[in-house]
Amino acid sequence: MLLRERYPAGKFKDGKDYPAVDELKPLSLLNASISTLFQYTGKDELMPPPERSRPRKEVQAAALLNAIQSKSYWEEEWVGFWRDHFSVYGYEQNVGAFLPHWENEVIRKNAFGNFRQFLEASATHPCMLYYLNNKSSRAGSANENYARELFELHTLGRDAYLNNLYAQWREVPGALQGKPKGYIDQDVYEAARAFTGWTVEDGTGIGGGQSLPKTGQFIYLESWHDNYQKRILATEFEPYSGPMKDGKKVLDLCASHPATAHHLMRKLIKRMINDEPSEKMIQSAQAVFIDHRNSPNQLSILSKHVAKLASTIPEQGRQKVRKPMRLAAAFINAVNLPFDISEGKIMGQVESAGPALYGWVSPEGPPDGLQWNLSAAYLRQRMNLIQGLSENWWGTGEWNPFSDLPPGPTYSQLLSRWEKPLFGRPRPELSEALTCSQGLTGFERVSDIKVARKMVGYLACSPSFQTEAIEPDFSAGERA
């Protein structure tokens, strides 16, 4: 698969020139190592600045192709949930450079694995270390960004933040028994100390005339770690416990806390089933999550359980808004469009029709839910996305709206032909409403292929094409 790279000539910071580029390049970075991707951070200006966004662009293009080619929407949405849960901002240069490795080795590799291992994989990856500033955290200057988001977003959740009720750890219900109900700021501050010394090999000076290598790999620096005793979630941490032991112990405590299971399951069921998950479903999934917390395939077991929950609810009771990539994929597949992504122009429209993949600035990730995703800010762009695909505005390919139709079909015949591919069943009321809105009776003949494509695009702009029930898949995550 090829993707165009185009930018004008320019200059590096040192005044040296780099040439203009306009060529189709293969998606060659999708399986690149961290050390290969490190050069895209811009360190030492090893490549022209416009080239440095290439890793992010390739990941975004590959995600759209996956959405089109995937046999399981459930699997892709499950992966998408974890991508948004461990949200990083890929338009920040140091983060975006490593996105291909993050997408493959953190998100996709762990989405059906074990949550505790998932936590550690995210915590030790340069994307997260750069994004939440733990890269520079050291004894005497601990950065609390990662620790706070670990508690508030990745594990226990905001509902478990009890600092407005309790000022001291002893006051938190259950703390004296070693089972605090939630967390307070003291826990965050102490956890930040536990993660000091978790950093990236990026050439930083470490004293004594020495510098870290320039590989982009994770490294633990004992000399940067705060080795003194700590108390986190009512648990005593012994001083000088050993390399990375403090941070790993925090991850253990957070992953196994009951509030984490409840927080995650509420988010997950809302994403996979419907916008208003029942407490019964949440508790059911929570029990499975906890019972299998030591299983290497904990999240695969959970996926099957959530799929079982979803299968008990009629489709009309679990409608979810299609994300922009899914929306594009649904139309492309419905009309058998020979999709060509090589010019890349469609990606800008995909990004404007909803939060861009890895494009949410703050760490809580993009919001979920019908009202937000179908807000006025996005709805028009979503309709333009469908219409542009239908009419080939971005060079993505042309398709035949007259397939399986007699010569010179009527508008009614044309629209009726595409109702089932688009909506899964005949929707004559939509076709009738569309023909009326265009001042037509439906019996007029249509022979202009451009007009036909435009009309089918209009049909796909119907509100009911914006949502769908995610079909449960009990084998998700098991494919090679």
Q: At residue 315, does pLDDT exceed 70?
A: yes
Mean pLDDT to the nearest integer, 419-442: 97
Pairing between strand 21-26 and 2-7? antiparallel
SS3 call for 11: strand
Task: Indicate the residue type of 291.
Answer: D
Q: Which of these ranges, 47-51, 187-191, 194-198, 261-265, has the smallest mean pLDDT?
A: 47-51
So what's the pLDDT on residue 370?
87
Q: At residue 480, does pLDDT exceed 60?
A: no
Q: Express each pLDDT in 351-393 by its tens digit.
A: 999 999 999 999 999 999 888 889 888 999 999 999 999 999 9
Mean pLDDT to the nearest integer, 61-66: 97
**Eight-class DSSP state of 154:** I
So what's the pLDDT on residue 377?
85
User: Please, are residues 118 and 187 in contact by the beta-carbon 8 Å criterion?
Assistant: no
Confidence of residue 74 (pLDDT cuts 50, 70, 90): very high
Mean pLDDT to the nearest integer, 300-313: 97
Q: Which residues does 254 contact at the CB level (< 8 Å), separation at least 6?
A: 119, 150, 151, 154, 155, 156, 233, 260
Q: At residue 275, does pLDDT exceed 60?
A: yes
Closest by CA to 414, choosing from 447, 383, 437, is 447
So what's the pLDDT on residue 45?
85
Q: What is the pTM of this model?
A: 0.96
So what's the pLDDT on residue 221?
97
* In the block, residue with structure tokens 């990745």: 154
User: Please, are residues 307 and 475 in contact by the beta-carbon 8 Å criterion?
Assistant: no
**Which two three-digit tokens encode residue 47?**
């490549």
**Which two three-digit tokens encode residue 433?**
């409403």
Q: At residue 479, does pLDDT exceed 70?
A: no
So what's the pLDDT on residue 372?
87
- For the chain, give the mean pLDDT: 96
So what's the pLDDT on residue 79?
98
Q: Express each pLDDT in 97-130 by its tens digit.
A: 999 999 999 999 999 999 999 999 999 999 999 9
